Amino acid sequence: MRKDLEARTRTEAEKKAEPGPSGDVKRPESKPKKAAKPAPKAQINFTDPESRIMKSADKAFIRGYNAQAAVDAESHIIVASDLTNQASDSPHLPAMVEQILANTGRRPEELSADAGYFSETNLKALSDRGIEPFIPPEKVRHNQWRLQTSPRGPIPRNAGPRYLMSRTLRTKRGRERYKMRQTSVEPVFGHLKEAMGLRQFLLRGLDKTRSTCPSRSGARTCRCP
């Protein structure tokens, strides 16, 4: 399995060298042969080598995949879904937005997502598409929303995207729009897991598992006009 680890390490190094948004290529600092050397603690699963170790909703580390879903806030219909072996949620948001546009033929007026999807890059990507974002810079527990107070005073001249988003979510409108996630995307995931019993995949490998993914986590809500 060492060859598989080396191949995976080499693939990940090549991905880092792919052109970025500006067209610049970020090449690994080390040579390709050295980049293919797995880290001392690198692991691979004999049952499903394409799966990865990820943190579950229960804060436990499991071997699995990261499922993504976008749900229409009014109809509770899944309008986009995907599955990858990349643990971080943030990089998935732009591709999911493109899938929403392709599947529905409509541009969402707004999009809510949990803190795992926050990044200034994502905020700009949504704004450039004319989509109003509601993504908290840091995790806020459900009961904390009742304690939030509307911001007072003028907006600082040097306020950055993180501050502006946090301030928006503290307004009365911002709290109301973001709280829609609790009554839209969360019930969909609850139905999939509890009513349908979809808590694990029966197939192995990214391609096969991806083809059967109805989505599990990745709480995003969009509202299309």
The DSSP symbol for 152 reads -
What whole-number distance in Å separates Cα of residue 179 and Cα of residue 110?
A: 13
Per-residue pLDDT of the chain (225 residues; tens, 9 = 90+): 566 666 767 777 766 655 544 444 444 444 445 556 766 666 667 778 888 888 877 778 888 888 889 999 989 999 999 988 888 899 999 999 999 999 999 999 999 999 999 999 999 999 999 999 999 998 877 667 667 778 888 888 899 999 999 999 999 999 889 888 888 888 888 888 888 887 777 788 888 888 766 543 444 444 433
Domain spans of the chain, in order of start? 2-44, 64-223
Pairing of strands 66-72, 219-223: parallel
The DSSP symbol for 71 reads E
Report in angstroms the alpha-carbon separations of 64 from 113, 195, 199: 22, 21, 11
Instruction: Check: CB of residue 87 under 8 Å from CB of residue 52.
Output: yes
SS3 state of residue 188 = helix
Q: Report pTM.
A: 0.72
